[in-house]
Structure 1
Amino acid sequence: MAFLGKVDFMTLSETERVIYRYLSDNYEKIPILHIRDIAQESHAGTSSVMRLIKKLGYTSYPVFQAFIQEKQRETFLNMDYFDLLSTKGYPKELVEKCQDLVFEILRSKIIVFLGLGSSGSICDYAARRFATLGLNALSITDPTYPVESRLSETKRNLIIAISISGGTSEIFEILQRLKPNAEDCIASITPSQTSDIGKISHISINYEIEERRVNLHGDLTSQIPSLFIIETLSEMIYEKMMTP
């Protein structure tokens, strides 16, 4: 994270590198962190924290905090939140891909949505919305769930994986196990068509989104694109059902 300050990593001690990584992972908290908090979480002394701050080019910790706070304010003011609603992030063939997936949805006996974390929440919403349309849809957000046994007694099933990274190993492993069944269709809603999940899918609906992480494992990536795709699919299905 270069905006912490310019520094030659070769000049940093191992302790200072640990402190630097902690600051990078907790960038948004810096304005409210006390120097002793940083020292405690980095298992270092306050003097080590101050040495790093000075190597980053700041005369004191309050000056460093003020700089980071101003950078955060500028970032906030420069964000165009309506970009999340722009069509620029979707492929030109979005409608055609959605139509292909709607065809599979309407011919499938069971529709399974697969996802973990925030994507799992979208799966729950999608399954409920499709069930409202009278479709046999369910959401699986537990990778240990025996999905194969649920699908073993039916043919022509549809599995829709939702993933921000496109590489969620637990989801990919499930899809690998289901892939050999030629009568089932695998689809995915994920930013990358060339990801593991995208490549294993028969139909992959993609979009562009900036992945945002906080505190290393915290995911703040927007789910608006995947939600929009789910809404589009359900509207297409509803229109077909209402057409004589």
Structure 2
Amino acid sequence: MAIFENLSLNKLSSVEQEIYRFIVNNLEKIPYMRVRDIATDAHVSSTSVFRFIQKVGFDSFPEFRFYIKNHLEKAHYETDEKQVKLEERIGQLNMTIFHPDIEYQIKKMAKTLQQADFILFMGMGASGALAQYVARKLANIGYFCISLDELTYPIRSFLRKDQKNALVFLSVSGETKELIEVISGLAHADSVHKYCITAHKESSLAQLCDYSIDYAIKEERKDIFLDLTSQLPAMAILETLIGYLEESTCQ
């Protein structure tokens, strides 16, 4: 938040710049200081301080102090608002949103991925971004893992019969049409383990997978088609999964 709107530092004299620096570095003190106090601490004259105050748009020192006091109160209020929003978001990660056996579920998926020769993460939109993120991290620790959000890609070209393949689908709704079409086309594929991470364990996607991990989250949308739902629960599951797989590579 700017203290003095439309103030150009280049147009201030060297003395005025000293006064400005002192004020911005001591905002909490200013409402309780006199002109003389500011002048003494900034090593300038009282006249220079008063001229600066007039230059930034105030007729008197009390008016200036009142402005600074309001500025601080507004800044503190905005900080408190941000803190509430942060606490609300983090609060979504309490353990009640996960299945009681969430740790077992993640370890079970980790064991399958650990034994896989090829791992593919798939999702669309924000879920696609998560898929790319986790695939990159698993590749960094030595797994043959990629992500796709281009769901028309012929993924069968990756799924050789002489290797163990693991597919992980990410979808909040579990009803993403394109993902369902992909997994339906793999219904009879051999050596393919199909997992999904979703907010709806009864969804079409979860029913088509061999195994699913679900969580509870309030879905948020704007203009129907714009998904604003938090990805924090899915991210927590994925980060824990990555942790288990990283531990297995160090053993």
TM bracket (short chain): 0.5 to 0.7
Question: Any conservation in 2 of the 1:114–1:160 contact (CA below 8 Å)?
Answer: yes
Which one of the candidate residues 84, 89, 95 is aligned to 1:87?
A: 95
Which residue number in structure 1 is paired with residue 135 of structure 2?
Answer: 127
Which residue number in structure 2 is paired with residue 98 of structure 1?
Answer: 106
Identical aligned pairs, as a percentage? 27
Q: Displacement of 1:177 after TM fit?
A: 1.1
Q: Displacement of 1:210 after TM fit?
A: 0.5
How far, CA to CA, are the matches of 1:128 and 1:120 in structure 2?
12
How far, CA to CA, are the matches of 1:103 and 1:178 in structure 2?
22
How far, CA to CA, are the matches of 1:153 and 1:139 in structure 2?
20
Q: Displacement of 1:80 after TM fit?
A: 2.8
Give the AA of the match of 1:173.
E
How far, CA to CA, are the matches of 1:234 and 1:202 in structure 2?
20
Give the AA of the match of 1:168.
T
Tell me, what secondary structure is at the counterpart of 1:138?
A: strand
Q: Displacement of 1:122 after TM fit?
A: 0.3
Which one of the candidate residues 166, 174, 177 is aligned to 2:185?
A: 177
Question: Any conservation in 2 of the 1:114–1:159 contact (CA below 8 Å)?
Answer: yes
1:144-183 alignment runs, 5 A limit: 144-152=152-160, 154-183=162-191
Tell me, what secondary structure is at the counterpart of 1:85?
A: coil
TM-score under structure 2 length normalisation: 0.64
Structure 2: runs of 5 or more not aligned: 1-80
Q: Does 1:220 align with 2:235?
A: no
Which residue number in structure 2 is paired with residue 232 of structure 1?
Answer: 240
RMSD: 1.7
How far, CA to CA, are the matches of 1:121 and 1:81 in structure 2?
19
Decide which moves more: 85-94 or 152-161: 152-161
Q: Displacement of 1:152 after TM fit?
A: 3.4
Tell me, what secondary structure is at the counterpart of 1:178?
A: coil
Which residue number in structure 1 is paired with residue 57 of structure 2?
Answer: none
Question: Any conservation in 1 of the 2:161–2:191 contact (CA below 8 Å)?
Answer: no
> How many residues are paired up?
168
Which residue number in structure 1 is paired with residue 8 of structure 2?
Answer: none
TM-score under structure 1 length normalisation: 0.65
Give the AA of the match of 1:215.
D
Alpha-carbon distance change, 88 to 140 in structure 1, aligned in 2, over 3 angstroms: same
Which residue number in structure 1 is paired with residue 200 of structure 2?
Answer: 192
Q: Does 1:207 align with 2:209?
A: no
How far, CA to CA, are the matches of 1:181 and 1:81 in structure 2?
40
Decide which moves more: 80-89 or 230-239: 80-89
Q: Displacement of 1:238 after TM fit?
A: 1.4
Which residue number in structure 1 is paired with residue 116 of structure 2?
Answer: 108
How far, CA to CA, are the matches of 2:162 and 2:126 in structure 1?
29
Q: Displacement of 1:143 after TM fit?
A: 1.3
Question: Any conservation in 2 of the 1:187–1:204 contact (CA below 8 Å)?
Answer: yes
Question: Any conservation in 2 of the 1:179–1:186 contact (CA below 8 Å)?
Answer: no
Structure of larger gyration radius = 2
Question: Any conservation in 1 of the 2:114–2:248 contact (CA below 8 Å)?
Answer: no
How far, CA to CA, are the matches of 1:118 and 1:238 in structure 2?
24
How far, CA to CA, are the matches of 1:82 and 1:174 in structure 2?
33
Which residue number in structure 1 is paired with residue 6 of structure 2?
Answer: none
